[in-house]
Amino acid sequence: MELLNTLVDKGLRREPPTREEALAVLATADDDLLDVVAAAGKVRRAWFGRRVKLNYLVNLKSGLCPEDCSYCSQRLGSQAGILKYTWLKPEEAAAAAGAGVAGGAKRVCLVASGRGPTDRDVERVSRTIQAIKEQHEDVEVCACLGLLSDGQATRLRDAGADAYNHNLNTSEATYGDITTTHTYADRVTTVRQAQAAGMSACSGLIAGMGETDEDLVDVVFSLRELDPDSVPVNFLIPIEGTPLAQKWHLTPQRCLRILAMVRFVCPDVEVRLAGGREIHLRSLQPLALHLANSIFLGDYLTTEGQAGKDDLAMIADAGFEVEGTDTTTLPAHRADALAAAGAGCGAHGEAAGGCGSAGGGCAPCGDAATSATSATPATSDAVPATPATVPAEAAPAAVPAATPTAGARTDLVAVRRRGAGTDLPPNA
């Protein structure tokens, strides 16, 4: 296809496709899907080789959020039967992070539900970052705490945060359809605050909420303009007890086309395969590694993911390798620009500066990542020395199960009952 040859040439030059070309990728036929993956894979390998960066989520505070994001199981009024607990102590969070690092994660993403942190919360997270860095000097830390107030980004950077995640999620035109308690502009402002403070910015999207192809192209072009170092691509898991519980619109083929489109629009950016990959891509997950150069290891915020050992086996079987801490994630031109801005993320190894934030970063923010899951979770061999405990009010038995919705795939969604906030070993 001439379209694909054009897109590969543009990607190698870091030139964006036109909107019409991006829409054409989403409209390709299933018969052409492998050609689309192969073309986008050339761009991915040109900038990131065959490396796959592993990232690990720690949910510092689960549920109890005052925002009304329709896709989120932690939202105001959510009936989802998720874990609910207040802030983990720094030593508990550090122990949870250690499980991910032991499993091969290069980045730890610290996520907390809520509209945004108070100054006291920033201090609490700062102590947590320091506790993690004391035990794992080379690990990258990304914070995802919601909307930031003046000065908070700088405080997090000074505490050792390498990156900050805040997703745009969908197009500006449709943002009000999924959230009313804050605006699209609020999210853009927070991403820019993180960049201005010298942190690596991580910002992405959620596909599968009923958006059009035009909406998907709009949000990805907006992300390119915002220029985060990493773009996490989440695929909505319609969790029981949320307003989008019946939104099952994605197929493995559509997910691959979306990932390919993102890679063509953002050729030299870390594209992270994030929430929902297990249940929407299913057996085609290995093909997605030819498009994305970063994934989350193990479980997500409120749902369980594929077993960590299976993630590692998938990477090896597909002919890829786990990226080490001695390797800079981003291409040199992006790493150098990030270093000049004062950020240190991804700067391990010979190249200076840079971040590979699902960004190099972070997970889908406290909301998007709650949508990922797996049908057959398994316990990992990597167990923190001191697992976190569940506050009395957050015990799983005390959480009511949601009433199943007609047409929902409850067989594919497993609410997280292990790892951070519980006495059980994590999956990493």
**Catalytic one of 272, 277, 416, 418:** 272
As a 3-state breakdown, the chain gives helix, strand, coil percent values, each rounded to 5, of 40, 10, 50
Residue whose tokens read 């590969």: 8
What is the distance, to the nearest Å, from the Cα of residue 381 to the centroid of all Cα atoms in its chain?
Answer: 23
Dihedral of the alpha carbons of 265, 271, 275, 280, in degrees to the nearest 10: 60
Q: Using alpha carbons only, what angle is made at residue 336 by residues 291 and 348, rounded to the nearest 5 degrees?
A: 75
Is 45 known to be catalytic? no
Separation of alpha carbons 87 and 410, rounded Å: 29
DSSP assigned state of 109: E
**Catalytic one of 202, 255, 355, 362:** 202
Is 355 known to be catalytic? no
Alpha-carbon distances of 6 from 11, 15, 36, 253, 421, rounded to whole Å? 9, 10, 12, 22, 49
Conformation bin of residue 64: beta by default, left when phi > 0, alpha when psi is -120 to 50: left
Report, in angstroms and rounded to the nearest whole number, the Rg of the chain calculated over CA atoms.
19
Concatenated DSSP letters of 347-370? --SSS-S------SS--S-TTGGG
Residue whose tokens read 């052409």: 32
Give the start-end residues of each E strand in 194-269: 200-202, 205-207, 230-235
**Catalytic one of 72, 255, 266, 345:** 72
Contact 107, 56 (CB under 8 A): yes
Closest residue by Cα to residue 138 from 422, 345, 359, 382 = 345
249 CB neighbour count, 10 Å cutoff? 15
Separation of alpha carbons 131 and 29, rounded Å: 50
Is 272 known to be catalytic? yes
Is 202 known to be catalytic? yes
Phi, psi for residue 231 in degrees, rounded to 5: -130, 105
Is 109 known to be catalytic? yes
Phi, psi for residue 316 in degrees, rounded to 5: -65, -45
Conformation bin of residue 208: beta by default, left when phi > 0, alpha when psi is -120 to 50: left
**Catalytic one of 69, 255, 266, 362:** 69
Is 142 known to be catalytic? yes
**Catalytic one of 44, 75, 107, 109:** 109
Separation of alpha carbons 209 and 235, rounded Å: 9
Closest residue by Cα to residue 100 from 280, 283, 295 = 295
What is the distance, to the nearest Å, from the Cα of residue 70 to the centroid of all Cα atoms in its chain?
Answer: 18
Closest residue by Cα to residue 103 from 381, 399, 289 = 381
**Catalytic one of 44, 75, 107, 142:** 142
Is 69 known to be catalytic? yes
Positions annotated as catalytic residues are 65, 69, 72, 109, 142, 202, 272
